[in-house]
């Protein structure tokens, strides 16, 4: 996952990406309301998709899935899904391109790591002693 993104920003940019994840997930839930009554298994899987997107796990893959589900809802939903699908598709595309941000499970699992090597002199043993 780290290969896809150069950094996982913290601070205000990270909070902005959390808001983008929330907007994509909630608008996906609203755009797919008509399928919830007809297909309960699909509704459950969409809820899992939205939850994983909110916490930021496998964000680029799930954002691409949101784009596809939003496009499907736009095509099959008629005029009722236009407002929500009009939000979810650009938000999910932006999320797939920007990454999950520093406040996500992806950042925790795949974020930048620093390796600190121990100094041999700091271990209590000096080189001048045998």
Q: Are 44 and 108 in contact (CB under 8 A)?
A: no
In a domain, 104, yes or no: yes
Residue 124 in this model has a pLDDT that exceeds 70? no
Question: How many structural domains does the chain have?
Answer: 1
Q: Are 121 and 127 in contact (CB under 8 A)?
A: yes
In a domain, 47, yes or no: yes
Distances (CA, A) of 124 to 27, 85, 101, 116, 118: 59, 63, 41, 17, 11
Single pTM value for the model: 0.72
pLDDT value for 112 = 65
Q: At what angle do helices 82-98 and 11-31 cross, to 10 degrees?
A: 140
- Tokens read off for 20: 């983008």
In a domain, 1, yes or no: no
In a domain, 54, yes or no: yes
Residue 130 in this model has a pLDDT that exceeds 70? no
How crowded is the C-beta side of 12, counted as CA atoms within 13 Å? 0
pLDDT value for 93 = 92
| Residue 72, C-beta contacts closer than 8 angstroms, at least 6 positions apart | none
Distance CA 77, CA 15 (A): 32
**What digits encode the pLDDT tens for the residues 24-40?**
888 888 877 766 667 77
In a domain, 2, yes or no: no
In a domain, 129, yes or no: no
Place of tokens 């993104």: 5
Place of tokens 């939903």: 77
In a domain, 109, yes or no: yes
The residue range of the domain holding 67 is 11-123
Residue 64 in this model has a pLDDT that exceeds 70? yes
In a domain, 100, yes or no: yes
Tell me the pLDDT of the chain averaged across its residues. Answer: 79
């Amino acid at each position: 996952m780290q290969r896809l993104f150069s950094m996982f920003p913290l601070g205000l940019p990270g909070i902005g990406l959390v808001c983008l994840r929330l907007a994509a997930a909630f608008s996906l839930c609203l755009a797919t309301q008509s399928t919830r009554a007809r297909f309960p298994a699909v509704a459950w899987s969409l809820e899992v998709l939205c939850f994983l997107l909110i916490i930021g796990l496998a964000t680029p893959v799930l954002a691409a899935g949101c784009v596809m589900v939003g496009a499907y809802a736009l095509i099959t939903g008629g005029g009722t899904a236009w407002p929500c699908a009009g939000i979810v598709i650009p938000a999910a595309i932006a999320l797939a391109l920007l990454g999950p941000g520093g406040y996500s499970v992806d950042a925790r699992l795949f974020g930048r790591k620093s390796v600190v090597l121990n100094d041999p002199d700091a271990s209590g043993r000096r080189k001048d002693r045998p």
